[in-house]
Structure 1
Amino acid sequence: MAEPLAGLDGIDWAGLDHAYGSAEDVPDLLRALSSPDEDERDAALGELFTNIFHQGRRYGAAAAAVPFLLALASHPGTPDRTGPLYLTAALAIGYDAAHLPSGVDIRAWREEAARLRATEDRDRFDFARALRSAEAELAAYDAVRAGLPTVRKLLSDDDPGVRATAAYTAGWFPEEATATLPDLEALLQSEQDANVIAHALVAAGLLDGRALLPRFREHLAGAEPLPRWAAATALARLGDADAPVIAELAASSASPPEGHMAFLEGDLRLYSALTLAALDEVPPDAVDAVLDGLTRTSDDASFPMAEAALRLTFRTPALPLPRFADLTPAQQRTVRTIAELPPESWRWGNLMEILHAWGLPTDHDDCRRYARLA
């Protein structure tokens, strides 16, 4: 097999940028991903997540790094191949929370990039930065798209962690669904690892894999909790959310199954709540389950769950703020649940921003008074 980093020194890395300026340090970081020293590999991967993927932003060096990351992920001599592969997915889409539960809307993404390129209002001080960022992000996405044949081959890798991460990566490219879905179906026909199965089911749902509806239903009725949750998630994404699907998502919103999912960094409670919030109608017991799940969160895990609960029960911001007595019972319970979150949730500005956007009191005491709590 060819050396995975062949051609690395042929790229003008100093002429490319990342979050801290010149990307001339990227080649050594990529080389360190092959180090036999685990600490060195972890440090290099962490630094790459910091510079070419900085808080979700991608830079000029991101697209250039993608082929080497994929080569490392597919090379048997790489000690830990899931790390480079997961970074590849992150470079393609940023934080996956921006795309879930519906998946990547690549048409809107490309249209927005085209609009920026065509705009005549180029005198704004932030325009050049916005255009450069949009170009770098789309270039990174298309670089991973070009490498999808390698990703699809990894669906049959000997390492279950690599198979799961390959399925996760493949699910973000709807333009390649025709080529990817048969490989996901083949994986599901033979796979025994529950974690890999769950990743493949969610990815197939994100790619509109309607031909796999019988497979989804089979796993929804199965005994394995993680594939059952994944099947429910996929079926809801495909608009097939009947009572068993909603019941599974509701149960997972309150008490999610155990597993090591890449989606939303493994926050299956949040993924379940977001999926329910995206449905047109949700029964009261499912709303209660989401709110039960919110009560079991604290600190930064509370923020997205609170927003999912508000989306589920309010649908649109409460502007102007109505009297508490005029809220529906589900809305009242949502406000009270948020007001009763622990102090470690209320000490962050993130929660204040969410409440402000939804028209609710942003001060803890004010929120409690509005909710008629002591």
Structure 2
Amino acid sequence: MINEYEKLLVGLDDVDWAGLSHAYRSAEDVPGHIRTLCGSDDEAREQAFRSLFSSIFHQGSRYSASPAAVPFLARITVAGPAAAREDAMWLLTRLAIDWHDEYDVTTGINVTGWRAAAAEFGPEQLLPWYDEQLAAATDPDKRAQAQELRDWVAAGNSPDSRWSALQSYDAVLAELPGLLVLLDDADARLRTRITYLLAWFPEFAATSLPRLTALAAHEKDPVTAATALLAAGLLGHASMARDITPYLEAEDPLMRWAAATALIRLAGLGEAPVDPGPLGRAVAELAAAARHPFDRVTDYCEGDLHAHIERTLHDLPPGPDPAAVRETLDACLPRIVWDHYGFRTRSAIEKLFPAPQPHPSPHYADLATAQQQLLSDLAGHRHDWLIRSSADRLRDRGLPHTRETLQAFVEAHRTA
């Protein structure tokens, strides 16, 4: 341990980690991993992060140990070793919100609904039911199991994922005042990360929104500025549309896309009419981004620009030219950058290849441009499981249905 970071871990050993749990039962290993984050061994630090991601944030699930780790991760993010700060920030973000939680990249987070749903399944509400199950159990093995579950709930746990995730969300909410210093950090990536995190805390908006709008106006890093503008759009009210609209004329296309996305969200609130002129301009910017995507992207929608545009347009209020909207959606259809559940991919296959290909199958060069784009994106996709989950649809249409055959199909045209 490097002595200069010891102060960040004050209270770490006072937590009853043995009484807490994570994905692999007892959380006794968590303090060791957190302590390793402040050490000088890069390989050990990376392994500690991997262990924390897989234990206190296991495939999106949060546990009783998850919120207990949050204060220490927040301290490391603010003042820990340079090599650990960004990863700690990202873990904090994942502990706060994840793809399973009640938030949407185009409309914001529904904290009120989340709290109401979670309240129905808190330990106090569930304990009487577990008491009943224990009282009714007569078989010794079943009674022992019922006793263990009843004691676990009595200790302040709930099997409901919304409830357990909300505990971590609230733990991060409590740390936001101290994390605000990151908005002025010298590291642009940390500024971007805290900006993205703030977008999902409407209960903190009175404090964060002025900081986010100022950051959007003055930030030099385009990704950070665009992230701030989108965050302001997610947290703001319809009256903010007039403040967002000028960014549609920004020099940077990433900022114009962010302004268009934010403006459509604000217009969708329905609190006040939004000038149809800027809305039409917003659609035009989304169309331009779909046709000519930029390399720099934000963390929203897992960095999948086309999926984000598609989802934004589905939330578009009436007014803009339907033909322009349809053209933009068509441009997004074959672009598969990140598709968490595979729904977009399977839908794109069905729409772009509505019938089986003739036999013998056409060459890649003979396909329509959109068809080529889809197969090219799949051939180069970073996750092989996405191809496997769509293999039956590809096979039914007489198309290559494995990564290897897709790559060979695409490369045959490139090398011809």
Fold match by TM threshold 0.5: yes
Q: Please say if 1:238 is aligned against 2:266.
A: yes
**2-structure distance, mates of 1:188, 1:49:** 31
User: 1:113/1:107 Cα in 2 relative to 1: closer, same or farther (>3 Å)?
Assistant: same
- Residue 227 of structure 2 contacts residue 298 of structure 2 at CA under 8 Å; is this kept in 1? yes
User: 1:269/1:42 Cα in 2 relative to 1: closer, same or farther (>3 Å)?
Assistant: farther
Quick one: which amino acid aligns to residue 107 of structure 1? T
Find the counterpart in structure 2 of residue 8 from structure 1. 12
Find the counterpart in structure 1 of residue 72 from structure 2. 68
User: 1:193/1:211 Cα in 2 relative to 1: closer, same or farther (>3 Å)?
Assistant: farther
Find the counterpart in structure 1 of residue 412 from structure 2. none
User: 1:273/1:192 Cα in 2 relative to 1: closer, same or farther (>3 Å)?
Assistant: same
How far did 1:291 drift? 2.4
User: 1:102/1:93 Cα in 2 relative to 1: closer, same or farther (>3 Å)?
Assistant: same
**2-structure distance, mates of 1:76, 1:33:** 8
What CA deviation, in whole Å up to 9, does each residue of 1:332-351 have, x standing for no partner? xxxxx7999538698433x5
**1-structure distance, mates of 2:162, 2:39:** 33
Q: Please say if 1:36 is aligned against 2:44.
A: no
Q: Please say if 1:259 is aligned against 2:296.
A: yes
Q: Please say if 1:157 is aligned against 2:196.
A: no
Q: Please say if 1:90 is aligned against 2:118.
A: no
Find the counterpart in structure 1 of residue 308 from structure 2. 271
Find the counterpart in structure 2 of residue 297 from structure 1. 336
What CA deviation, in whole Å up to 9, does each residue of 1:97-151 have, x standing for no partner? 8522211100110110122244787789999797443332111010011111022
Find the counterpart in structure 2 of residue 356 from structure 1. none
Q: Please say if 1:113 is aligned against 2:118.
A: yes
- Residue 240 of structure 2 contacts residue 266 of structure 2 at CA under 8 Å; is this kept in 1? no
- Partner of 2:7, secondary structure, is coil
Quick one: which amino acid aligns to residue 183 of structure 1? R
User: 1:82/1:304 Cα in 2 relative to 1: closer, same or farther (>3 Å)?
Assistant: farther
**2-structure distance, mates of 1:116, 1:144:** 21
Which region of structure 1 is more displaced relative to structure 2, 71-80 or 121-130?
A: 121-130
- Partner of 1:9, secondary structure, is helix
Q: Which runs of 5+ in 1 are unaligned?
A: 314-336, 353-361, 369-374
**1-structure distance, mates of 2:338, 2:75:** 38
User: 1:223/1:284 Cα in 2 relative to 1: closer, same or farther (>3 Å)?
Assistant: same
User: 1:4/1:150 Cα in 2 relative to 1: closer, same or farther (>3 Å)?
Assistant: same
- Residue 253 of structure 1 contacts residue 273 of structure 1 at CA under 8 Å; is this kept in 2? no
What CA deviation, in whole Å up to 9, does each residue of 1:197-219 have, x standing for no partner? 01111111111255653442232
Find the counterpart in structure 2 of residue 142 from structure 1. 170
- Partner of 1:184, secondary structure, is helix
Of 324, 333, 336, which residue of structure 2 is paired with 1:285? Answer: 324
**1-structure distance, mates of 2:205, 2:11:** 30
Quick one: which amino acid aligns to residue 114 of structure 2? W
Which region of structure 1 is more displaced relative to structure 2, 217-226 or 9-18?
A: 217-226
User: 1:9/1:74 Cα in 2 relative to 1: closer, same or farther (>3 Å)?
Assistant: same
Q: Which runs of 5+ in 2 are unaligned?
A: 134-145, 268-273, 352-369, 380-384, 399-416
Find the counterpart in structure 2 of residue 218 from structure 1. 246
**2-structure distance, mates of 1:298, 1:201:** 23
**1-structure distance, mates of 2:342, 2:224:** 29
Find the counterpart in structure 1 of residue 201 from structure 2. 173
What CA deviation, in whole Å up to 9, does each residue of 1:53-102 have, x standing for no partner? 11111111110011111100110544331211121111011228852221
**1-structure distance, mates of 2:68, 2:333:** 41
Of 24, 28, 33, which residue of structure 2 is paired with 1:24? Answer: 28
User: 1:121/1:249 Cα in 2 relative to 1: closer, same or farther (>3 Å)?
Assistant: farther
**2-structure distance, mates of 1:221, 1:299:** 29
Quick one: which amino acid aligns to residue 17 of structure 2? W
Root mean square deviation, CA, Å:
3.6
How far did 1:277 drift? 1.4
- Residue 60 of structure 2 contacts residue 98 of structure 2 at CA under 8 Å; is this kept in 1? yes
- Partner of 1:73, secondary structure, is helix
Identity %: 35
How far did 1:4 drift? 1.3
- Residue 306 of structure 1 contacts residue 338 of structure 1 at CA under 8 Å; is this kept in 2? no
How far did 1:254 drift? 3.8
Quick one: which amino acid aligns to residue 226 of structure 1? L
**2-structure distance, mates of 1:3, 1:50:** 26
User: 1:33/1:224 Cα in 2 relative to 1: closer, same or farther (>3 Å)?
Assistant: same
User: 1:254/1:14 Cα in 2 relative to 1: closer, same or farther (>3 Å)?
Assistant: farther
Find the counterpart in structure 1 of residue 230 from structure 2. 202
- Residue 220 of structure 1 contacts residue 228 of structure 1 at CA under 8 Å; is this kept in 2? yes
User: 1:16/1:206 Cα in 2 relative to 1: closer, same or farther (>3 Å)?
Assistant: same
Find the counterpart in structure 2 of residue 59 from structure 1. 63
**1-structure distance, mates of 2:13, 2:192:** 31
Quick one: which amino acid aligns to residue 245 of structure 1? A
- Residue 250 of structure 1 contacts residue 273 of structure 1 at CA under 8 Å; is this kept in 2? no
Quick one: which amino acid aligns to residue 113 of structure 2? A
**2-structure distance, mates of 1:15, 1:130:** 15
Quick one: which amino acid aligns to residue 232 of structure 1? A
